[in-house]
Amino acid sequence: MQSYNLGFISDENIFNHVKQTVLRYSANIDLKEFNKNIVDPIKLTFDAKVYGRSIEEVVASECMRQMDKSNNNHIGYFHQNLFQYAGNGWKVPNEGFDVVNEEQHIFVEMKNKHNTMNSSASQKTYMKMQNKILRDSRATCMLVEVIATKSQNRTWVVSVDGEQFNNDHVRRVSIDKFYEIVFGDSEAFAKLCRALPLILDDVVETMNHEANQNTVFAELSAISSDIIKSLYLLAFKTYEGFDNF
């Protein structure tokens, strides 16, 4: 293991944390996972015909899209659970807020990107924070965004039923500013980003990666030799007329 010189987290802890994230990273997919939310064969047909692609290429792209969606959740795990190593009262609870410091009365909800919450989700999160402040007059609640529109630590203003609400104890904070609050280093997040490629190289080198397994095509072929037909039967097998499709 090399020295990463982060200062706010040990080499061993950041190495192990990155490794745990890599182990979660999805590389395999089967038909059950592929059709977990029922794939839309009509959209896949449009994609193939409009973009001049084979149905195999379109299905492969859909497999990658689904795995990428899962992997985004694992990146959320990476961002949130790093703070279990912060010490000084910082914790990652199993429920409730994503990151808390009871000693400092700080309660955090984390989002990977600034536009991942719709209006309803924003209102719900804001009301959760308002409720916390009502029960703890010393509390400060933060919406921490990894990819924010800019570096910031400002009052979060939310519109609820057309009325704007703001409270200085409810903050909207970019991840760099949150790292500064937690670790006392304004460049802590930048240091992590600079070191991350090296850490990942070291982690991947120590792991015995199996070849990615995608059994979707084999399982679709077992339904019918015509992949398009298999996709329609997968979605509509109980519909009228599809018993002789």
Q: Splitting the chain (245 residues) into consecutive groups of 10 residues, what average pLDDT does each group show?
A: 90 95 83 90 95 93 88 90 96 96 97 80 91 95 95 91 85 97 96 96 82 83 91 92 85
Residue 213 covered by a domain: yes
CA–CA gap between residue 238 and residue 232 (Å, rounded): 11
Residue 13 covered by a domain: yes
Residue-level pLDDT at 212: 66
Domain range for 43: 7-85+209-245
Q: 55 near 48, Cβ under 8 Å?
A: yes
Residue-level pLDDT at 193: 96
Residue 44 covered by a domain: yes
Residue 188 covered by a domain: no
Do 99 and 133 share a domain, yes or no? Answer: yes
Residue-level pLDDT at 53: 94
Distances in Å between the Cα of 182 and the Cα atoms of 77, 129, 196 are 18, 19, 19
Residue-level pLDDT at 233: 93
Collapsing DSSP states into helix, strand and coil, what is residue 143?
A: strand
Residue 14 covered by a domain: yes
Domains identified in the chain, total number: 2
Residue 39 covered by a domain: yes
Residue-level pLDDT at 245: 82
DSSP 82: G
Identify which of 51, 44, 65, 46 has the alpha carbon closest to the alpha carbon of residue 230: 44
Residue-level pLDDT at 26: 65
pTM: 0.83
Residue-level pLDDT at 49: 95
Residue-level pLDDT at 207: 82
Residue-level pLDDT at 209: 61
